[in-house]
Structures are given as structure tokens and as C-alpha cells.
Structure 1
């Protein structure tokens, strides 16, 4: 493999990571005609067991062309809703992460609501409600979080004095044809944009899911399609194919023992791509005890960005393609539309190299089913095993405070393991909780991921259950001081959030993995106590 591979403004540069394993993998892919077959949407590339699923999941390869048909509809929508300048996106996983990257990178305001935390939902609804249009995005049309957001906003609009017809005008529904949500949308009098059913949620960046909310927020989405379409011809080629280079490096590194990939922005213009790539890679590859664990880090020098079993990847906007990459890293630079397509292609290639189906998610429903049962029967009452000021702890170990509990958890991490922090909190008001990630990475010397619940259930949640069983898990929940009913449902947002956390604990505990649950009876004080304990641990 060459050190720099370039096409359509996208460059993949590798330095000191071009191993014989990667070279062999590339040669085998080319010999089997994989680049051309994938570009032609051949569903047989991942084996007979995956063929049926793949046959209806490869539409992302020509999404840049197909999605152009949406542009007149999006322009008409933007004109029709020009008086509503606060765009809220209610979506989970792939339905929300790509629009968030687009809006952040291009500097257009978009409120992304991908939580069941009642405080965060309340704050969103209270923000400029009189100028709000809500994009409800759900491929299946049955996502519980998204349905709850739709109900809450509908009620808020009615409570504000709008008629049902006026409230219906405030909604744009993005879903697959024939989904339950399409019928509901028609009944509401909402605008409906039907998505391509041959594209899975996490591969949907350049479909209606990525384009509708961002177009309403003021993004010229045609530019994104242009950038992706310029890259498309290279996808069939054996050489001059940076997406193939990236996918080969990801898959071969995992085979060679570097089965974690750290994702860091290099400061050259793209914001938040790591969070989107995280759900794409983790949910696509983490199954059958295999997979690539993506670790989103704060900077290229952050704790956990490097390691013997870590492939370090820097991402950013266009740069001088002749500049060398930092030794031991892969650098992926180019325009955002091309980045989306390249990472989707690379993930499919990595799946082929690893030997898994990159389009199914066999373990995602487990926590959902647990949540449903808990909502029906009630959250199990369990006594705390220790109390440390504002923090109540639940652990199978004999520990007496947060510091000793964290020490116990980190001691369970093996030489090939990782720590996953899962925070069922308000990711706006409780944002400081994310500072625990680099602190624990310093303390353990191991990769540490951080995910906001429940959104990580739609991404890394698959990897936690289906990937290599080497994780140690820290779940953080918080007291609810101002709950919010879910209209038309027998539960509140707080109860739903608690049930989701409990359902995920059940799924992890059932696998015998180390699990520490910290409940913050006072969120602000509890976060401060957690961070203090993590600092002491790493000192």
C-alpha cells in the first residue's frame, strides 16, 4: 500500500502502520475484485449468511446521486417553514449523529435531542417554542425515545395554544416508507419525507436523515452531495482509492491485534466526526466476539489516544496531501461529504477483512426488550452497597467509597481490555461528567470510551454485548428533580431513562462483565466527587 492515497480531495495517509498484514489484506481484496464488486453493490461480499441483509442495505453507495431528488422538496420545505428558525432534531444513533456533525462543522444552529433525560428534554421544549420546527427522524418508526419526543412536543404546542393543524405544521417526519411513523405523521398533518429503505440508519448520512434537518438549519446540502459524488468513481478502483486504503488499515490492524481505534480531530475544520464514526464502526463490527472498538478522544495527545493495541486515526478537513502523517498514525483529511462516504465504504471493507456482517446489529434489541419489561413491571429496587456523600454506589465488590470502587473497576481491566463509561445524564447541563474519560484513561493506561445514555445504546451498545468480552463498565445515573410525563404513555421520561439504564445493566451483568453503578443523588456535587476520585486514582 502507498503511504498516501488520494481522490476527489480526500487523502488517507499512513506512517509506520503499513504492516505486512495490511499489504496482504489489500492484495487479497484486489485479487477478489472486492472494490469493483462493492461499488456495484454486490451483496455476496460478506458470505452467504449476510447476503439477504446486505442485499437491502447497500443503497448508501449511490446515495449522493439518489438524494439529489430530495433537493427541490427540501428547498420547498425551507421556504414553507421560513418563519420557524429553531430546528430541533429528535432522532437516535445514525439518525442524529450525522446531522450533528454537519451542523457543527458548517456552523449552522441545530438542537439535537437524543436523550430521555427529563431535564434536557424540558430545556429543549422551553427554548424558543414559538419559533420551533421539530424534525422527527426514525427509520423503523418505532424508536421509543423519538416517539416520546414527538408526543412531548405535540403536547407542548397544544398547551401553547396552537390548534392541531397548526401543531402538525411544526413537524417534519423522516422515516421509511410504510413505517408506523409514516401513518402517524399523515394523521398529524405533518410534513413527510420518506427515506431510502435500502440504507441502514448508521449509513444514512447522505440520505434524508442527514439532509432534511441540516437543510432546514440552513446548510447547502448540495455541496455535501457534490463532495461525495466526486469520490464515488474511485470506489471501484484497485488504486487511487483512499476509502479502500482506510478500510484495509482498519480491518488489518484489528486482525494484527490493534482492535481499538482512537479517533481525534486534527484541528483542520471538521467537528464531531468521531462521534458519528464511533456508532458506524462499533455497531457495524462489534459482533460474534469480534470487532473494532472506536475510542473518541479529546485531542491527538489525549490519554488513550495511543497504545500497543490502538490504531490512532486523525480526522479533519482538506490539507496538503504531501504532508507526512504523524508516525504510528493514520490521517484522513478531506471535505465532509467525501468523509461520510469514505468511512461507510471503509467500514464495509473492514467487515469483509474481519469476517463479519457489517449491516446487522444482533444485540441491539436486548437492552430494548429489557427496558420494555422493566417499564411494565417497575424498576427493581436494589439497596446501595455504599454511600459516599452525594453518590450512592452499587457494586459486587467490597468497596466503601467512589475512589475504592473505581480502583476495583480499573483493576478488572486486562491487558487487552477497555473501560466504557455510560452516563445517563443531561449531556448539556451535566457535560462536565465527560471529563472522567481522560482521567480514567490516565489511571488505567487503557482505552476508555464515554457515551451518553441512551444514545450509546444505538451505537457502542452493540459492541458492548456482541464484541470481544473484555470491557469493564461504569454506569452513571442521576437524580431526577423535575420529571416530565410522556403524553399518552403510563410513564415519565425519568422512568423511561431509569428503565433503559436498568435494562442495560441487566444485559451487561448477564455476561459476567465487571460493572459499577454510581447514582448521583445530587448531580452537580456527584460529578465533582466522581472527578475528584478519578484524579486521585490517576495521581
Structure 2
């Protein structure tokens, strides 16, 4: 099966761009891995970042060794699969496993509660896949250290329970070899966000129970189309993305519709935001919006519903969206393979961890919510703060909500089986800080995004700092009542989480991005109060 791209009423805008690309020989050149397509400045990076074009073939070499690992895991009864990874190392496996309905616990967080929950779940039957391209990702390093200690404390040899996926020559490859862990080496010529069909996507998904050979088959089926000038879904989609951005529609509303795929917009969000959000340009994917309301927005549906839509199996969609993103980079005149602004927040985090952060006094306190930042008009309460933020969004701008909290905490509000599912879902939504996105989206025609920190730092975080100067930022942090130490490090997860939040907000403020931080002194009460105030705006 291939991928079908239906352009609907956007066909006219895309046709002109598609014709220019075809006339310049771009489709075939990209399919053949030409690194000159994005200009001389981007060429050195492109020369070492186009391996994703061939993963449908080259990743097959991994399948026998993956099959042996899966056989061992099943034989030993290890039915709790934990993936410790960030960004491209976690988002693709999360989509793959959700689509195939196989359980995978994803740790792409530094929240102590979320990590403690994973640790408390069937440790005696847990296998951990530690995935890091660089081998030095601080979140993943912390997870590895925590699980190593937990396994030892339980009398389990970590070498029997930890599998590593990394690039050749990384520090993690060396330390994993010394520890006796099984190591899968990924293609070093593939960037993290283009790595869905590499070892980073395949190993944890296969261990969880997904059919990864089928992913490669589906990608291989669509690959020959990517050299064509006509009937090329990657070219059609890339021309659409580029044409819309050039026309001022740079907010891409991504919607799941009638599809067998679950959660693909979250993966697309990272791919496009981190690839295009730089040099004051970019395409901002928006996940969760019901429809495109503003003149700078348009909607693309995943599945069989909607005027503009992309249909096809997951493996093929991975490859087509990667190709389309590379095409959009060419149209916008940017390098789709670098991420020049991602490191800044990491560096700020490191500095904060070395010394106690200077928090300062809150602007105001409203119940269990402290407000930090500067706002015009002397706000008196939380309602004034939220209203001021909405009014601060510039024309063709957006509001980004960034929550450094426990992504799964809302599920504690109503355990499954205690009521009918509709009531349970309502209880979850009422306790979930992510509900704030919909509440504020309802009150503005501007795009509103939501990201879990530090997960989004490996995704939209690049767009926030490198993209257009049009964002307004609302950060949410929370008090930690039950922290988790990081073995061998002079900090806890709670301290790391706060340092990441403060480091990122510092990077935004250094660019004069409007920012406000809400700190919940009681997380449960704080979320409830915040949502109640937003409901009444």
C-alpha cells in the first residue's frame, strides 16, 4: 500500500510550487540523496543526514538480531517494556505501539512522579530500552542510572534488563559495552527526528510487540514513487507545506480522523517544528485543535476524513512526511537537518544545576498558583493573567503552553472500572492540565499549542526560539513532594526538572519573547484552580 495525498482546495497553491520543484529536478535529486538541494551552507550537514532515505532497505539488517532479543524477552516473561528516550528516540515508537495496540511505557520526562510510577510497575518483569543518539542526553542518562540502581536493589543484574540503542562511537556505546548491555547501533547518517525507521524506532517497538518488518515493507512500497515528478505523495505534501507557509499560512493544524494510525500528529509535530523553525521562519504544527480558525492556519487530516488529508499505512507515512519536510525546507530556504537553537536551553540548565537558581518573588499569588513574570496592566488575579496573555498574542502569532508536570497524573483522578468510561474520561479531563489548551483555544482565534516539558524541548522548542518572533509563552511548573535522586549525580529529578524549566524560559526571555510562569504549590489543587479560572474567562 502507498500513501495518498489529497490537496482539496489547497491544490492550486501547491501546484505552482510543485511545478517549480519538478522543473528544477528536485524530486529525483532528493530521492537520490543530493546534499546540495538546500544550498552551500546546509550542504555539510545534509551530507551526513540523508541516510533516512534508504532505511526501508538498510534497517532490514537489524531484524535478525531484534528477533533474537524479542525471543529472549518473551521466554523470560518480561512483559513491561520501558523506553527511556527523548524526541526522535521516543516519539516514533510511541506512535508505532499505539497504532498496533501494544503496551509501551515511554519515559521522556524528568518528572519524579511519572518516573516513580514507572519504577513501581512490575520491576521484576521490566526490560528497559535506553535510546540516545548522542549518548549524552541528560534525561535518558538519568533514567538509566535510576533503573540500574533499582534493579541492583531488587537483586537483578542490570545487564539482563537494559538494552541500549545509540550511534556508533557515542559515550553511551562505550559505557554500555563496559556494563555488558546489549547494544544496537543506529545509522549515524540519520538525524534523530528522521529516525523512525531506524534502530531507534524499531528496537523498542519490536520488544513491545509491534510488527516492525511490516513498517519497512510499507515504506519500501512507497519509496520508488519519491523520484517521480507526478504521482509523488512526498512531493505533493512538501509542495503543500511550503506553498502554504510562503502564503502566510504557517500554522499547520494536524488532526487524527478516521485512520488506523494513532498519535501520528505528535511525531509530525517534532519533525516539522524542529526541521523548519529557524532563521525567523518556519511551520508551526498544532496538535489537538478542532479546526483552523485564523487566516494563518490550515488543516491536514491523517486518515480518510477532511478536504486536505494524507492516507496510508504508518511505515509509508513516516517516509513520506520526512521527504515532504525536506522539500518544505528547500521551498523555505532553510536547512531542515540542523537545530541551531536546541542547545541553548540545555546549556542554561547546566548552569542552573551548578548553583541555586534565583527565583525571585512572584508577581502575584492566586490560591495554589504563584505567577512569575511581567505583564502590562497590573493583573490582580489569575484570570487577569490569562486574559493578558491572550491579548498579548500578536497578529499571526500563537500561544504556547509548556507544562513541566506529570503527564499521567490526571489518571489518578478516576481509576478505570470505577465508573462508566464517559464519566471516567470527564474526570481525567477535569484533572489534566492539558485541558487548558482547549479552554484557551476556545477563547482566541490564534493558534494554541501544548507541550509537556522537557519533551517539547526536543520538538517545538527549536521553533519557539528559532522561528518567527510571534509567540507568547505560558510555562507551568509544580512543587515536588516525593523526589527521586539521580544516582551518581549531585541533583534529583525534581531539581533537574525545575532547572530545565528555568533554563528554557531564560532562553525565551533573552529573545524578548513574552513569558509567564505559573508555579503550582499544590499540583492537584493548582490544576483544578487553573482550569476553573480558564473555564470562566
Cα distance in 2 for residues equivalent to 1:144 and 1:67: 27
Say if 2:132 is the partner of 1:138: yes
Structure 1 residues 57-456: aligned runs within 5 Å: 57-82=49-74, 83=76, 84-162=78-156, 166-297=157-288, 302=290, 305-316=292-303, 319=304, 326=306, 329-397=307-375, 398-430=378-410, 432-456=432-456
* CA contact 2:293–2:445 (8 Å) conserved in 1: no
Structure 1 alignment gaps of length 5 or more: 1-7, 320-324
Using the alignment, how far apart are the partners of 2:385 and 2:175 within structure 1? 47
Question: How far is 1:311 from its partner?
Answer: 1.9
The answer to whether the Cα contact below 8 Å between 1:306 and 1:312 also exists between their aligned partners in 2 is no
1:18 partnered with 2:5: no
Check 1:284–1:391 CA distance in 2 against 1; reply closer, same or farther (3 A cut): same
> Could you give the per-residue CA deviations for residues 40-72 of structure 1, whole angstroms, max 9, x where no partner exists?
000000000000000000000010100000110
Q: More deviation in 150-159 or 506-515?
A: 506-515
What's the CA shift for 1:26?
Answer: 0.8
Segments ≥4 residues shifted beyond 6 Å: none
Cα RMSD of the aligned pairs, angstroms, is 1.1
Residue 19 of structure 1 and its aligned partner are, at CA, apart by 3.0
Q: CA deviation at 1:180?
A: 0.2
Taking the aligned partners of 1:420 and 1:381, their CA distance within structure 2 comes to 22
Deviation at 1:340, TM superposition (A): 0.3
Instruction: Provide the TM-score with structure 1 as the length reference.
Output: 0.94
SS of the aligned residue for 1:270 comes to coil
CA distance in 1 between partners of 2:121 and 2:314 (Å): 29
Describe the SS at the equivalent of 1:284: helix
User: What does the per-residue CA deviation read over 1:195-232, in whole Å, with 9 as the maximum and x for residues that have no partner?
Assistant: 00000000000000000001001111100000000000
CA contact (8 A) 1:379 1:498 kept: no
Q: Determine the structure 1 residue equivalent to 2:476.
A: 476
SS in 2 for 1:49: coil
* Partner Cα separation in structure 2 for residue 123 and residue 484 of structure 1: 11
Distance of 2:257 and 2:115 partners within structure 1: 32
2:517 counterpart residue number: 517
Structure 2-normalised TM-score? 0.94
Gaps of 5+ in 2: 411-430
Partner SS for 1:486: coil
Q: Please tell me whether the aligned partners of residues 297 and 305 of structure 1 are also in contact (alpha carbons under 8 angstroms).
A: no
- For residues 253-298 of structure 1, the C-alpha deviation after alignment (integer angstroms, 9 at most, x for no partner) is 0000100100010032211100000000000000000000000015
